[in-house]
Structure 1
Amino acid sequence: MPEHLELQHLVDLSGSGDETVPNLMENKRPLIKRCPYLGLILATLSSLFFSLCSVIVKSLVNIDPMQLAMFRFIGVLLPTIPVVIYTEQPVFPKGKRFLLALRSLVGTVGLMLSFYAFRNMPLADASVIVFSVPVFVALFARVFLNEPCGIWNTISIILTLVGVVLITHPPFLFEEPKPDANTDINVLRGAMAAFVSTIFGANAYVLLRLLKGLHFSVIMTNFGAIAILQTFFFCFVFGLLCMPNCGADRFLVVCLALFSYLGQILLTMSLQMEQAGPVAIARSADIVFAFLWQVMFFNEVPNKYSVLGAILVMCSVLLVGLRKWALALPADSQLRSKLGVLAK
């Protein structure tokens, strides 16, 4: 999901021995030995918290998604400030300021668009499209970083695009009568917002690769601070600022910030304990949770096109995760040989 990409640069750093990445589990090695799948469990819990964030965004209909994004960024910034102070990191390192600002602007737009998608279309459909961000990273990495984009990445992109078309089933391709034209327009707008969100999210990840030598707290502090200013400015200009209603609304806003932070911390810990490929596969649980919450909380049963599209997107994400896993294994690993052509 775009809302947690500020930590995804740890994917490239996990296992690299980079001293700028703090090891949160340094004193927990016996625990890891007793539970070898702890990293995958934490990644799945991270998906749970992030999926609950999307439920909250869809539920708080009285608060504009842009203002909800501002509350979410406050939840990113406040817990990160003590980390920056403790590690004595330079908040605005020379030579990286423009990239940090650009990454923050791109990431903010991506997150706001994903929130609008959650609000205007079925939760599971929006989550599937937004979750396809890793598939498009290879495409933009090829364009901007000149990284190779092989046959498997191309297959993943094609599967994802077909899945997105099935999920959105645009009227000019699927001639199905709609009982409510306004609902149809809102869903189409939400689908467009979700897809553009993946584009911004993928570019944010490319920028994170350029910034991977920086401490994660520096990136998150800049991201949180700039994002709060950006969302506050938009909310002020468009007259969207409002105080959440007392009671359940304020409680859910606090939960949104808390769940975002918990999801990020769990994702960080999982990437430090497990390779990036298996973590990416475990994170696909986000799609499963989204379908579950859609039925439980919103009484929306997904149609056959949504289910088929979700299966295609999940297959493409799993393909990307398996390939990352295979390439990270030693050349003489038996598991790598079992994964076969994916490691080539």
Structure 2
Amino acid sequence: MPAGNAFKTAILVIVSCAFFAGANACAKGVQTLEVGPDLHPLQIAFARFAFGFLTLLPFILRRGIGVFRTQIPVKHGLRIVFGAAGVTASFAAVGMMPLADAIAIAWTSPIFAMIFAILFLRERVVPLRWAGAALGLAGVAIMNQPGAGVLQTGALVALLSAVLVGAEVVTIRLLAQSDNPLTILAINNLSGAVISGVAAIPVFQMPDLAQLPFLIGVGSVMVCGQLLFIRAAAIGEASFIAPFYYSTLVYAALFGLLFFGETPGLHLLAGGGLIAVSGLVIAFARPRAVA
């Protein structure tokens, strides 16, 4: 990948991560308001896809029904499953633990994305990247505060989200090579809204008006991040893109401090630092070109 493309890819991903952290902050805001019902993560996931689709609707109407045409429906189906499950797990995790902690664990997804890229995209990975992956896993262990004696449920849910998001990253890379960003987003958000909407029926509660701006934000802010990320996926390797997710840690810690009064603990700084170093190692330990 040319140096210019690498720089552009990194910037796109880093900016997209600000939107991703913002969407998760909106999801936590819904769950921490002192007014309104305690909304289930499935209902928040439905809002994420439904309002995401409504954000895209003006652009979809301009392009017409043809925006939904694709030659790779199976790959879209896989992305929808991975994405919907990953989003639900992520929103559940942020409701169980501090925002920065949950996101830091969930965004170990680059490790899993790297593994999936090797298996399914046949991308070459040098040994140093495996060392980076090991550092990332060590960071997860530290962030889970093993001194507490047991693995926290929230950490397990966040780790499940990481696996699913890692699989989604690789799938998006495949989609971005064939379909345009609007097609990818339109199919994903409409299908996700239907699937999560049906799943949320048994737990649905009418939200309070004070919760509505947060629910809208979850969808609209996430779509903005997705648009930037898909553009990055079209020009960069999955194993290069994924580690820049770790910039979300900075945004999550900042949003947690500003909006929820969550002061980063020593475990977050230590574990998050290892995870950040892991991301840098994975990103820049690139295989040499074959002469």
* TM-score category (smaller protein): 0.7 to 0.9
Matched, 1:309 2:271: yes
Over 3 Å counting, the alpha-carbon distance change for 1:229 and 1:312 in structure 2 is same
Q: Which residue in 2 is equivalent to 1:128?
A: 104
Q: Which residue in 2 is equivalent to 1:167?
A: 143
Q: Deviations over 1:215-267 (max 9, x none)?
A: 2222222211221111111111xx22122102x21122222222223333444
Report the Cα distance in structure 1 between the residues aligned to 2:15 and 2:114, rounded to whole angstroms: 26
Over 3 Å counting, the alpha-carbon distance change for 1:274 and 1:54 in structure 2 is same
2:203 to 240, 246, 250: 240
Over 3 Å counting, the alpha-carbon distance change for 1:167 and 1:317 in structure 2 is same
AA at the equivalent of 2:153: R
Q: Which residue in 2 is equivalent to 1:206?
A: 170
Report the Cα distance in structure 1 between the residues aligned to 2:58 and 2:181, rounded to whole angstroms: 13
Percent identity reads 24
Q: Which residue in 1 is equivalent to 2:34?
A: none
Alignment of 1:146-157 (within 5 A): 146-157=122-133
What number of residue pairs does the alignment pair up?
A: 282
- Offset of residue 159 of structure 1: 0.9
AA at the equivalent of 2:165: G
Report the Cα distance in structure 2 between the residues aligned to 1:108 and 1:220, rounded to whole angstroms: 13
Q: Which residue in 2 is equivalent to 1:291?
A: 253
Q: Deviations over 1:96-153 (max 9, x none)?
A: 2222112211111011101111111111111112222223212122233443332122
2:225 to 235, 245, 263: 263
Q: Which residue in 1 is equivalent to 2:284?
A: 322
TM-score (norm 1): 0.70
Q: Deviations over 1:55-85 (max 9, x none)?
A: 2211212222211111111233234345455
Unaligned runs of 5+ in 2: 32-37
Report the Cα distance in structure 2 between the residues aligned to 1:66 and 1:196, rounded to whole angstroms: 15
Over 3 Å counting, the alpha-carbon distance change for 1:147 and 1:161 in structure 2 is same
Q: Deviations over 1:162-202 (max 9, x none)?
A: 111111133xxx2x48xxxxxx88xx111111111111111
- Offset of residue 275 of structure 1: 9.7
Unaligned runs of 5+ in 1: 1-10, 17-36, 178-183, 332-342
Q: Is the 8 A contact 1:281 1:322 kept in 2?
A: no
Q: Which residue in 1 is equivalent to 2:35?
A: none
- Offset of residue 311 of structure 1: 0.4
TM-score (norm 2): 0.81
Report the Cα distance in structure 2 between the residues aligned to 1:84 and 1:310, rounded to whole angstroms: 39
